[in-house]
Chain A
């Protein structure tokens, strides 16, 4: 096995923390709610760090898309392989990365998920199966086919999952990767996280079929359109697709409908959105939907919600303080891991 055998990142938190955090999300709906709140707080904090001039460079927030991230993390066991895309803060935290790992990466510190060498679009944590994050549109799709091929050849029951944006459905790698995965009936799940926009273009201004997931038919694959604001719907759909893949039923293409509350990246004020669109989506806020449901079901009460929010706030603040206090990544780090160390 190539994954997880490397020396791994040097971090000050416990190496088992991500897996523990992941197990919470898998096991407990309250943990899912809290994780969604944590993601929201982390995004807010990242914006602050940028405004204060402490963070820099490329970053993409996912406020509004938390149910997608947490739903995937809850439905996919940590032994499966997931490849994410550039807008991955939420997926990273949901899958188990610590806020320190995320904020450290954003700040270019040694405690970052990849030691500050990749930046926040490049989160990885192999202990929970987040094996790579791809920032070229759709490039992760054939890679996930390859991960699934490995499982198939090895006779493993591991499943490989690709998460990518609606913008990636028009790129060549999407086509080639899906065809290959379908042809070889690979144990893979392909997830379009349709937040309605590429950078500044609504998906229906660039994509010629509605819904985009219908493209699955071009490869003889099943597809499902899912309410990405409802974490339980996400878990259900992803879980079904993963189970199908695991039992030899081949790949599924899922489209999770969601919305990003902020611009594509920091400088984008999103002037291209039609009036009222943001408000309509905010009315279906994924945190509220799950919160209301858990309150209605008597699983939590309002005081619990407030306590969760407070814990998330504190956790994120502590993570930021910790990351800011951590050393800037050493210059020598850029020379490490360019090539694997030769066996001694």
Chain B
């Protein structure tokens, strides 16, 4: 179980591979891996966006995400979890969040990954400010639910 809040751009696939190599004890047990990557788009609500700043509440972010991961491990049979979330300045196409779940069976991996993402979106204290192409700025006001297609 690893949780990282980082200020630099990251490659989710490198991070996953590095994590897997660092955990050879999981080999042979993993039957299912579910991975979610949230990436910055260059368009939001019909407006071109050239970047964003992600503010967070240091300490509370880690506490809330820790709680979420503990809840997921209590509800599903999970072998391992990796969460990485960017803060600071983010450019289009850059990953914002990575959630990777390793388990024996696919039901657990899918359910836990989605649960963690929804909980993160509603509880982890991050706030996005978008920098628009016309040089305006705007705060994103709320996250929509991921259980219904927007």
> Is B truly associated with A?
no
